[in-house]
Amino acid sequence: MTKVVGHPTFATAWVVILAVLAVCAFALLSTAVGRQALVDERVRVIEALGGRVDDVAYAALQANPPWLVYLTSGGRLLLTPEITLLVAAGLLALAALDGVKVRYGVTLAVTVHASAVLALQQVVATPLHFVRESLTSPTTIAGRLPMFEEGSLAAGILGSIDIFGLWWVWLLALGLSAATGKPARRYVGRLLLAYVGVAALVAAVFAVLGAQ
């Protein structure tokens, strides 16, 4: 990360990361298993929010798979350009709170290079998606520690926290530390709180709407 901050280029790395995401998507969604997983994930979310999918709606989903579901499941949302730009702006704000002026290009370079571990997650997860016939991430804490009742708030929170996501948070903290000269521990807690906070908010929304 010190090298990234010293020479904040990101275009090539970003193209490679997005290419990995695209290749993983094509490898999975070009199969019948992948397309069915799209439908199943869409149905899962609808039912988790308290809705129901009848036979007609299910047939419509099978005829026209909801492709966007791929990007909004399995932690892939963190790899989208919009989120990358937003996270880079967040790092800029954290640096400003410490009174350190950092260029946006630097925080964007840090965010893009940290996202390499999220691309690695997709390489690991894609064959597991195929085997499990599911788009949910196989590397969440809930997936590794299945000790909470499915559908509970705790399970929902842990199901939104990914092992690779925690690695990503740590790399963001290291990058911001390199950019500001402050200790990484100064930022890792704040970034982890934001990451877990968003996961808890999403889980709470699903829990409340699902109970209605």
CA distance 144 to 93: 34
User: Which residues are bridge partners to 162 per DSSP?
Assistant: 140
Helix (H, G, I), strand (E, B) or coil at 46: helix
Please report the pLDDT score of residue 196 as a whole number.
84
Q: How many CA atoms lie within 13 A of 182 on its CB side?
A: 16
Percent of the chain scoring above 90 in pLDDT:
65
**Based on C-alpha coordinates, what's the Rg of the chain?**
18
The pTM assigned to this predicted structure is: 0.85
Please report the pLDDT score of residue 175 as a whole number.
97
For residues 65 and 39, the answer to whether their CB atoms sit within 8 Å is: yes
Please report the pLDDT score of residue 141 as a whole number.
79
Please report the pLDDT score of residue 210 as a whole number.
42
For residues 197 and 167, the answer to whether their CB atoms sit within 8 Å is: no
Is pLDDT at 115 greater than 70 in this prediction? yes
For residues 153 and 48, the answer to whether their CB atoms sit within 8 Å is: no
pLDDT band at 209 (very low <50, low <70, confident <90, very high): very low
Provide mean pLDDT across the span 3-17: 96
Please report the pLDDT score of residue 158 as a whole number.
66
Matching residue, tokens 């070009």: 30
DSSP state of 162: B
More confident position, 47 or 38: 38
150-177 residue pLDDT tens = 555 555 566 678 899 999 999 999 999 9
Longest distance between any two alpha carbons in the chain, whole Å: 59
Closest CA to 208 of 19, 9, 49: 49
Percent of the chain scoring above 70 in pLDDT:
85
78-114 residue pLDDT tens = 999 999 999 999 999 999 999 999 999 999 999 999 9
For residues 107 and 92, the answer to whether their CB atoms sit within 8 Å is: yes
Please report the pLDDT score of residue 49 as a whole number.
72
Of the candidate ranges 4-8, 28-32, 49-53, 65-69, the one whose mean pLDDT is the lowest:
49-53
What's the whole-number average pLDDT of the chain?
A: 87
Is pLDDT at 181 greater than 60 in this prediction? yes
